[in-house]
């Protein structure tokens, strides 16, 4: 796996602003035989209208059409030829072809729109990898992530991000890590595939690079998605060290969506986007995928766009503690991926939210060590970092963090290196004096 050295990072030019890709062609097609079909032009026009009202229209990037050669990076020649021919089909022929696939309709303008959607993502990839842009969002349709190599599926013609990943591999990078968090419910939810479960981790050289996090109930909230990122995606991603992040930005998990039936807030996706910006030097491409409540989709997309533009994270108004079902799904995924990622070796096999009210920090630390919790917070007073070995100082009687570090070393069965971070505005003089001559 290629890891850029410090010299290379310093030599890269400063990245430009956020790019936004949209074309009127994305509003030109619809279902000819069902005027109420949920995959409709309003999905993108509502996003753009809300973005304009909120003053979010960043630097516009001219879209381009993907070439046949680029489509063939993922799809078969026979399939691309068939989709090309759909432009000249009658409504009856289009309906017949659509019915041969799962959850599909085809319009004469579906093919040019799909080619533009792919080309838009590739345009962002090139500009971001050249540091002309820092990140970008494609407000495009049709979506792409359900499309197969040789057939349409789930409203999708060409797999936009799969093509973008192959394109990036060919021009810029080597490895691909795939992560998907999705509604599954034991395989009863569409597309009803066994390979959507956490046990599907990839095969051969790709083993461990395919991560599925299936939700097995509806109503998943902000805390569940945050836990998925904090406990699984972000640790693995930091170990993987991507050079580019591609996001299939579906918003059917935002509260109010009739298909997803989840309860994540739009603000949650701003926070998730902010977390992703810490990867790949901020090189982040987001492309609109699902989302069938027009207002929820627009709010989710605009929340992500605000984060890309550098706005601070909005407050989350929902309970941010993950539910038991989410914790079990995360635990199952970690178990399946445990052999492939060293960062998962310290996480244990079960996660439970723990609240402890006590007068001794060492009790909280013991819970972390014995019960294999990944992290914890002690809300205590008096403070401790000014206390010296033999004298109280600066409101501090005992040096809480120093005692906790020593206690952790005592609990450890072998040598234990402890990082102590002090971001208080006042220097932690006591802590420094306690450890400044320490060889441990």
201 neighbors 211 (Cβ within 8 angstroms) = yes
Q: 212, exposed or middle or buried, with CB in 10 Å at 0-12, 13-18, 19+?
A: buried
Q: Are 269 and 261 in contact (CB under 8 A)?
A: no
DSSP-derived secondary structure for 102-168: BS----TTHHHHHHHHHHHHHHHHHHHHTTS-SEEEE--SS--TT--SSS-BTTBSS-HHHHHHHHH
In this prediction, residue 21 has a pLDDT band, given cuts at 50, 70 and 90, of very high
Q: What is the mean pLDDT of residues 343-364?
A: 52
Contacting residues for 295 by C-beta, under 8 A, at least 6 apart: 46, 256
pLDDT of residue 412: 79
Cα separation, 404 vs 410, whole angstroms: 10
Which residue in the list 75, 107, 146, 274 is annotated as catalytic? 146
pLDDT band at 8 (very low <50, low <70, confident <90, very high): very low
Residue with tokens 């919790």: 373
What band does 416 get if pLDDT is binned at 50, 70 and 90? confident
Among 87-101, 236-250, 258-272, 379-393, the least confident range: 379-393
Mean of pLDDT values over 393-422: 87
The answer to whether residue 1 scores a pLDDT higher than 60 is: no
What pLDDT is stored for residue 374 in this prediction?
Answer: 61
pLDDT of residue 438: 81
Q: Which of 132, 338, 85 is nearest to 235 (CA)?
A: 338
Domains of the chain: 6-177+242-308 (3.40.800.20), 354-435 (no CATH)
pLDDT tens-digit readout, 181-209: 999 999 999 999 999 999 999 999 999 99
Name the nearest CA neighbour of 142 among 168, 165, 116.
116
Q: How far apart are CA 262 and CA 241, in angstroms?
A: 30
Helix axes 110-129 and 77-85, enclosed angle (nearest 10): 130
Q: How far apart are CA 186 and CA 197, in angstroms?
A: 8
Instruction: Return the DSSP state at 230.
Output: I
pLDDT per position as a tens digit, 254-311: 999 999 999 999 999 999 999 999 999 999 999 999 999 999 999 999 999 999 999 9
Q: How confident is the model at residue 352 (pLDDT cuts 50, 70, 90)?
A: very low
Cα 177 from Cα 240, distance rounded (Å): 8
Tell me what pLDDT residue 225 has: 96
| Under 8 Å between Cβ of 239 and 342 | yes
Active-site annotation holds for 37: no
Give the pLDDT mean for 133-156. 97
Q: Cα separation of 132 and 111, whole Å?
A: 29
Q: Is position 386 annotated as part of the catalytic site?
A: yes
CA distances from 409 to 406, 430, 437, 440 (A): 5, 19, 16, 9
> What is the reported pLDDT for 360?
45
276-286 confidence digits (pLDDT tens): 999 999 999 99
Residues in a beta bridge with 284: 135, 245
Residues above pLDDT 90, as percent of the chain? 75
Q: Name the active-site residue from 75, 274, 385, 386.
A: 386
The three-class DSSP label of residue 270 is: helix
For the chain, the straight-line distance linking the first and the last C-alpha, in angstroms and rounded, comes to 33
């Amino acid at each position: 796996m290629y890891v850029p050295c410090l010299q290379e990072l310093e030599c890269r030019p400063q990245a430009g602003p956020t790019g936004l890709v949209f074309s009127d062609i994305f509003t030109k097609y619809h279902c000819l035989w069902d005027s109420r079909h949920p995959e409709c032009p309003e999905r993108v026009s509502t996003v753009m209208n809300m973005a304009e009202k909120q003053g979010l229209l960043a630097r516009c990037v001219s879209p381009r059409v993907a070439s046949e050669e680029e489509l063939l990076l993922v799809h078969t020649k026979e399939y691309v030829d068939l989709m090309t021919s759909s432009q000249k089909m009658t409504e009856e022929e289009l309906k017949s072809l659509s019915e041969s696939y799962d959850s599909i309709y085809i319009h004469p303008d579906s093919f040019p729109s799909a080619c533009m959607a792919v080309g838009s993502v590739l345009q962002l990839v090139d500009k971001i990898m050249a540091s002309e842009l820092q990140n970008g969002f494609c407000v495009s349709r049709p979506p792409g992530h359900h499309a197969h190599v040789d057939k349409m599926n789930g409203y999708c013609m060409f797999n936009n991000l799969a093509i973008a990943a192959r394109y990036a591999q060919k021009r810029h990078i080597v490895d691909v890590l795939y992560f998907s968090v999705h509604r599954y419910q034991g395989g009863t939810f569409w597309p009803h595939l066994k390979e959507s479960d956490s046990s599907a981790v990839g095969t051969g050289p790709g083993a461990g690079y395919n991560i599925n996090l299936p939700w097995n109930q509806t109503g998943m909230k902000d805390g569940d998605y945050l836990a998925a990122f904090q406990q699984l995606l972000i640790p693995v991603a930091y170990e993987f060290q991507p050079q580019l992040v591609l996001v299939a930005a579906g918003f059917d998990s935002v509260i109010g969506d009739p298909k997803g039936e989840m309860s994540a807030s739009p603000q949650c996706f701003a926070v998730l986007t902010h977390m992703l910006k810490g990867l790949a030097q901020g090189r982040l491409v987001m492309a609109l995928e699902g989302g069938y409540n027009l207002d929820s989709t627009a709010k989710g997309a605009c929340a992500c766009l605000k984060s890309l533009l550098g706005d601070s994270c909005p407050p989350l108004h929902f309970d941010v503690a993950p539910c038991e079902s989410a914790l079990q799904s995360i635990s199952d995924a970690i178990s399946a991926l445990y052999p492939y990622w060293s960062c998962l070796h310290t996480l244990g096999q079960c996660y439970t939210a723990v609240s402890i009210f006590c007068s001794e920090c060492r009790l909280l630390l013991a819970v972390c060590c014995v019960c294999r919790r990944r992290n914890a917070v002690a809300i205590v007073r008096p403070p401790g970092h000014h206390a010296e070995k033999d004298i109280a100082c600066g409101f501090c009687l005992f040096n809480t963090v120093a005692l906790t570090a020593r206690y952790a070393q005592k609990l450890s069965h072998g040598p234990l290196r402890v990082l102590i971070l002090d971001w208080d505005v006042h220097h932690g003089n006591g802590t420094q004096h306690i450890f400044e001559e320490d060889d441990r």
